[in-house]
Amino acid sequence: MDRPENVPFLDLRAIHARREARLMEAIRGVVRGGRYVLGPQVEAFEREFAAYCGTRHCIGVANGLDALTLIFEGYREMGQLSPGDEVIVPANTYIASILAVSRAGLTPVLVEPHPASLNLDPEQVSAKITQRTRAILAVHLYGTVTDMTPLRALAKAHGLKVVEDAAQAHGAAWRGTRAGALGDAAGFSFYPSKNLGALGDGGAVTTDDDRLAETIRALRNYGSSAKNENRFKGLNSRLDELQAAVLGVGLEYLEEDNARRRAIARRYLAEIGNPSVTLPAAVADRESAWHLFVLRAPDREALGRHLAGQGIETAVHYPIPPHKQEAYREWNSLSFPLTEAIHREVLSLPMGPHLSDAQVDRVIAAVNGYPSR
């Protein structure tokens, strides 16, 4: 047991302990059912998650990176994207968003985010559109969806696809429509720490596009849609039956979990009042899933140490921007001052359904007490 005064950043063991009976029942069902890959559990979860997001299709895949990559590869197989086509991505995203574009043989074009929302800034997007631009990757960072109105207008005017990176935004909504149903296609991750997490890796694509869905269904399974017939040079990226069964249980709790996250975020926003920290923007037309509660502090290391001294665990999402990573050494000399400032200043507070009201009190008091004397 954690000492009662400790506030963990996230506690998956505690979250799963509360639903252990349901999880074990689901797992036992798979063990006894004898089907372990592409069987009834995956079919049921795909149906349920599509209904939850409000899309015609959901295709379960091995992880979030594959979900995003397969969307771009699917469009390539359909002749709607070609090698070297440009995809606009926010420079401050988690690197997986950008890796998906690269892995599909397309060219990521980085843009600075909006300084308040930290999501795509339509003015920056507009300035980077060229003859080769074919798609915009809207990353709903930290669980708050991107403002879709200006992006849709730009996409329409320039004939671009809008792909959502919804890996942090299960259940987030924009004017009543959930993430996953806001663009042409969306990629989700079910990595254990996400709002809807598996007991291992998992991912999914959601879309209303029948042809894209059918193409990705084939691509995830060696490029095959009929036994022993291969239409594409596909890969093996399937959601397995065990994870699908676990995710089916998690989906039953997602709304409740997100409601708890929203209640915690409302308290942080209302009760943290420290001039040396900047709180995240709460956007009226966007119901955030609050995957992370990320504040900014000029000296986040000192704030992190102050909180750690009071038993409060924090995290940094993310310390190094993608264009400064060795993987993208060709971009290392590029300058994105806002993105670089964000990566220097962000600090994520404990967030999740594991937190008690007393723990939330402790976090608020500790942030308000910084700097302490």
Number of residues that bind ligand PLP (CB under 6 A): 15
C-alpha to C-alpha distance for 348 and 369, rounded to whole angstroms: 17
Task: Check binding of 264 to ligand PLP (CB under 6 A).
Answer: no
Among positions 98, 109, 120, 167, the unique one binding ligand PLP when judged by CB under 6 A: 167
41, 133, 168, 237: residue in contact with ligand PLP (rule CB under 6 A): 168
Chain position carrying tokens 């996409």: 155
List the one residue out of 29, 32, 34 whose CA is nearest residue 45. 29
- Least distance to ligand PLP from the beta carbon of 114, Å? 16
Residue 292 binds ligand PLP, judged by CB under 6 A = no
Taking the complex as a whole, how short is the minimal distance between the CB of residue 169 and ligand PLP, in angstroms? 8
Q: Is 63 in the site for ligand PLP (CB under 6 A)?
A: yes
200 token code pair: 């291992």
Tokens 């008690």 belong to which residue? 356
Report the amino acid identity of residue 25.
E
Kindly tell me which residue out of 97, 133, 195, 215 binds ligand PLP, with binding defined by CB under 6 A: 97
Tokens 């942080």: give the residue: 268
Q: Specify the residue for token string 């995956």.
A: 42
Phi, psi for 44 (deg, rounded to 5): -65, -45
- 127-156 mask for ligand PLP (x: CB under 6 A)? ------------x-----------------
Among 52, 72, 174, 191, binds ligand PLP (CB under 6 A): 191
Closest C-alpha among 345, 335, 324, 317 to residue 93: 317
DSSP for 282-303?
P-TTEE---S-EEEE-TTHHHH
Cβ 237 to ligand PLP shortest distance, Å: 10
**By CB under 6 A, which span of 60-68, 107-115, 303-311, 341-349 interacts with ligand PLP?**
60-68
Q: Rank residues 267 and 317 by Cβ distance to ligand PLP and give the closer one.
A: 317
Closest Cα partner for 141 from 264, 318, 6, 314? Answer: 318
